[in-house]
Amino acid sequence: MPTTAEIIAQGQQVLIGNYARIPVVMTRGEGSYLWDNDGKRYIDFFAGFGGTILGHCHPDLIRAVTEQAQTMWAVGNTFYSTPQLGVGEWLNKSAFPGQAFFCHSGMEANEAAVKLARLRGGQHSPKRWKVISFHRSFHGRSLAMIAATGNPKVKEGFEPMTPGFTQVEPGDVDALLAAIDDETSAILMEPIQGEGGVNFYPPGYVAKVREICDQKQITLIFDEVWTGGGRTGRWYGYQHFTDSSGKIVQPDILTLGKALGGGLPVGVMFARPDLAKLLVPGKHGCTLGANPICMAASKTVYDVIDRDDLMSKATVFGEHAIARLKSERSIATKIAGVRGKGLFMGVELKEPPQKLVEKGLERGIIINLTQTKVIRLAPALTISKDLFDQGLDLLIATIGGL
């Protein structure tokens, strides 16, 4: 068994250094626990950027992927196969009547969504092809998606940007209206911003964006790569937002990733049938998209969240955590705000902390930092109350010790 130092040294040699990796080697997981190569145990409050929404090595997931692995692996999309139908059904049941395109990542799902919006926009004269998104948004790392992402750091070094993408300030209706022209095809929006710091829009804004899209025949794409799959206490983040008549604000296209595979690579572009029909053979594809093993995992994620009522649990746990973090005296002077929905939470610190993630690891808790001072929490929905409270204790101790 190689030592931790040996594994890190080899990693530095054979892996590209595009991730700021922490010098810890994770070797084993179970539920919301992870163990490193030296046997130290951690409570996982970040679930691999939200991917392992059912925790590590969930028995139902193991069963589903093992059964599928013993039945059929990859066939490509020239044939029908059943595992993806179960996920398609779940999407229809949990979101809206629509049709799915499966790929491997959130970025790919967004690429497919923008292509579909352009096909729709191509039916107009002049052709509509431009996309508006928001400052502090994140949509992925492809050339088009860094152009769509509202964070200059993500674009740096890759200029010139792919044309046709612009960002406006979230919440500013006038700025959005000013950015729209007769070539605008789509608005791409995270219903709750993830990488941007678990940010919410002002009340009524999501509905306003829908209204503008309807008025101007613009395709509304909700990027739910972070917020989809039950994490916020509803199947999708958009289901928290209603218009003045109380109707849920629905997108034309929904994009998903992360949690949808329970930790396996699954991306989804899900569109209303009248839009989806424009993606005729030859327009788009993905060799391993809808891989049966990944689809078996994805269907199981939906089944288990539904069966075990994990979204209600996420709501209760999230409210409990926010109340506790807000009332905890020992950290009151360090915290600027706590926000979130379900088990997707952001704790904004007053000052950017030094080595916060490392300090959490020392205490045995895995957390994440975004936008220099927002602690992001996204534990598995399967975490027990006891472990969740232990994790909160460790988080509070970590913040208190800053």
| Candidates 20-28, 104-112, 286-294, 378-386; binding stretch for ligand PLP (CB under 6 A) | 104-112
Which token pair is 40?
Answer: 């130290």
Indicate whether 106 belongs to the interface with ligand PLP (CB under 6 A): yes
Closest contact distance (angstroms) between CB of 192 and ligand PLP is: 9
Q: If 0-12 CB within 10 Å is exposed, 13-18 middle and 19+ buried, where does residue 336 land?
A: exposed
Q: Locate tokens 């080899």: which residue?
A: 10
One-letter amino acid for residue 345 of the chain: M
Which token pair is 338?
Answer: 């706590």
Binding residue for ligand PLP (CB under 6 A) from 32, 94, 105, 232? 105
Residue ranges in 281-355 assigned as alpha helix (H): 292-307, 310-327
Binding residue for ligand PLP (CB under 6 A) from 140, 170, 233, 346? 140
Q: For residues 396 and 402, give the distance between their C-alpha atoms in angstroms, rounded to a whole number.
A: 10
CB burial of 151-165 (b: ≥16 within 10 Å; e: otherwise) equals beebbeeeeeebebb
Binding residue for ligand PLP (CB under 6 A) from 113, 223, 262, 293? 223
Binding residue for ligand PLP (CB under 6 A) from 55, 98, 257, 263? 257
Indicate whether 346 belongs to the interface with ligand PLP (CB under 6 A): no
Nearer to ligand PLP, 114 or 311 (CB): 114
Closest contact distance (angstroms) between CB of 25 and ligand PLP is: 22
| Candidates 218-226, 232-240, 356-364, 369-377; binding stretch for ligand PLP (CB under 6 A) | 218-226
Q: Locate tokens 């399967």: which residue?
A: 382
Nearer to ligand PLP, 100 or 331 (CB): 100
Indicate whether 226 belongs to the interface with ligand PLP (CB under 6 A): yes
Binding residue for ligand PLP (CB under 6 A) from 65, 103, 107, 395? 107
Indicate whether 195 belongs to the interface with ligand PLP (CB under 6 A): yes
Binding residue for ligand PLP (CB under 6 A) from 64, 225, 325, 361? 225
CB burial of 83-106 (b: ≥16 within 10 Å; e: otherwise) equals bbebbbebbeebbbebbbbbbbbb
The residue ranges of DSSP E strands in 163-320, in sequence order, are 165-168, 184-189, 219-223, 253-256, 267-271
Nearer to ligand PLP, 139 or 299 (CB): 139
Q: Around Cβ 141, how many Cβ atoms within 10 Å?
A: 14
Indicate whether 139 belongs to the interface with ligand PLP (CB under 6 A): yes
CB burial of 123-132 (b: ≥16 within 10 Å; e: otherwise) equals eeeeebbbbb
Nearer to ligand PLP, 107 or 347 (CB): 107
- x/- map, 23-42, ligand PLP, by CB under 6 A: --------------------
Binding residue for ligand PLP (CB under 6 A) from 101, 138, 205, 270? 138
Nearer to ligand PLP, 378 or 387 (CB): 378
Closest contact distance (angstroms) between CB of 198 and ligand PLP is: 11
Nearer to ligand PLP, 98 or 261 (CB): 261
Q: For residues 288 and 275, give the distance between their C-alpha atoms in angstroms, rounded to a whole number.
A: 23
Indicate whether 150 belongs to the interface with ligand PLP (CB under 6 A): no
Q: For residues 10 and 280, give the distance between their C-alpha atoms in angstroms, rounded to a whole number.
A: 46
Give CA separation, 139 vs 174, 237, 255, 268, in Å.
23, 16, 10, 14
Nearer to ligand PLP, 189 or 347 (CB): 189
Contacts with ligand PLP by CB under 6 A lie at 105-107, 110, 138-140, 190, 194-195, 223, 225-226, 257
